[in-house]
Amino acid sequence: MAIHIHDSARGELVPFQPLVSGVVSMYVCGPTVQGVPHVGHLRSALVYDLWRRWFEFSGFKVTIVRNVTDIDDKILEKAASETESGNSITWREVAYKYEREFDRAYDSLGLQAVNLAPRATESISEMIVLIAKLIERGHAYQATDGSADVYFDTASFPEYGQLTRQKLADMADAEDADPRGKKDPRDFTLWKSHKASEPADAAWDSPWGRGRPGWHIECSAMSTRFLGEQFDIHGGGLDLRFPHHENELAQSTAAGYPFANYWMHNGLVNVASQKMSKSLNNFVLATDFLNKSDRLVLRYFLSSAHYRSVLELSDALVAESASAFSRVTGFLLRASRKLGLTQLPEPGSFNDLPESFIAAMNDDLSVPEAIAVIHETVRLGNTALDSGDTETVSSNLKFVITMLEVLGLNPANEKSEGQAESALDHLVKQLISERNQARASKDFARSDEIRSQLADAGIALEDSGTETTWSFK
């Protein structure tokens, strides 16, 4: 069964054909490190972590590049603002500070490290070469006001708008050039003149004068630098599709690069049915989200909606995910106890996955359907436990562990305080935590259900003051 991808450029589901057999090259737009990450950043990063896991489990060798935009108007403004407040800090320190915040958040969610995470400031020379090539080919020009600004000439490129299926004439009124020296308001920045109010080291020499790159040119230069002029997949959030990705595609193809074969875009996160954004002040910080529950529960929750759809964020939906995931971990406990295991079995290979799970993942990474397969396998496993069918229990346990491994949800991989603990201990403590939350909210039915679930697995709980301990019966 071939893996099918919804290609945003074509607007349809298509079979994935890599440029090189058995190899996947993927570029993902990463963060602009001007502040702390929020849940939307976590979801986007998780989507491409899941894609990578599935490609690798399917036998591909994957190279994934996720950039870091470490020079930007907002980064400079942040540094200036903090310095004015008495906390003297450079723009480079701001960028590095928040880059580390993103790294910690990714690690806390259990994301695999990407192969390369290049910073924009490390590829300035490549950007200058690309801009010069665009000027030479007649697709870019230096500002008409004599400044060092350089713009992409959208009118020179008839294919502009192909990614989002728009026509240039419909994007804006082509009136007089704006005061910044553009020929057309729809032209976009490739190189920005240095301003006297900005730090001296926030600019680089170029043939057009000192300045710094525009946002869009960064990704074109970095993706082709590290993956070549043609690569398999370009991914990012749906909000980047226009203008960022449209501009990337235009300037890259205008420079003569075949560029990305497939475009992927993940859906956004809503809070109370509104898009989560800093402008609406309704965003949830990654640190606050990661404190809500066990990280496997949170990873399960973020995976619960199809990656291209909107994900609604609420405490109630996170609690539903905790309850659903506890049914899976409850089966792992019961099955392990029944089979006399002191730790969970090792996950299997691709051939140890149910066909329905493979079909779901091959269908444009339909994780919600894959999760449904996990729950159906758990249900059949519990039925086998009740009837004493240990052979079916053993095979279903292997199925479930392998599927969880694919999704990064295998409890056996969890660590506590830097030391590996038994997976069973992690599972029990996760259920105890959920039970404590249920008791605190006076949901005694759920609390009793968890105690009963653990008892069925041969686990006894003992409540002492504010602490709950467990032991085998």
Give the strand pairing for 4-7 and 12-15: antiparallel
Q: What CATH number is attached to the domain comprising 172?
A: 3.40.50.620
Query: Is 287 inside a domain boundary?
Result: no
Distance, C-alpha 401 to centroid of its chain:
23
| Same-domain check for residues 91 and 129 | yes
Residues 197 and 234 in one domain: yes
The one-letter amino acid code at 236 reads G
The tokens describing 146, both together, are 């004599």
- 35: Cβ–Cβ under 8 A, 6 or more apart, which residues? 74, 78, 98, 278
Residue finishing a domain among 245, 275, 305: 275
Are 216 and 317 found together in one domain? no
DSSP single-letter state for residue 243:
I
What is the domain extent for residue 128? 4-275
Which tokens belong to 418?
A: 């830097």
Which secondary-structure segment (H or E) carries 278? none
For the chain, 473 residues long, give each residue's pLDDT as a single digit of tens.
Answer: 799 999 999 999 999 999 999 999 999 999 999 999 999 999 999 999 999 999 999 999 999 999 999 999 999 999 998 877 777 899 999 999 999 999 999 999 999 999 999 999 999 999 999 999 999 999 999 998 889 999 999 999 999 999 999 988 878 654 444 567 899 989 999 999 999 999 999 999 999 999 999 999 999 999 999 999 999 999 999 999 999 999 999 999 999 999 999 999 999 999 877 777 766 677 899 999 999 889 999 999 999 999 999 999 999 999 999 999 999 999 998 999 889 887 888 999 999 999 999 999 999 999 999 999 999 999 999 999 999 999 999 999 999 999 999 999 999 888 644 333 456 676 787 788 778 878 878 888 888 888 887 877 777 787 876 778 776 65
H/E stretch holding 238 reads none
Q: How far apart are CA 183 and CA 133, in angstroms?
A: 19
Tell if the pTM clears 0.85, that is, is over it: yes
Total domains in the fold of the chain: 2
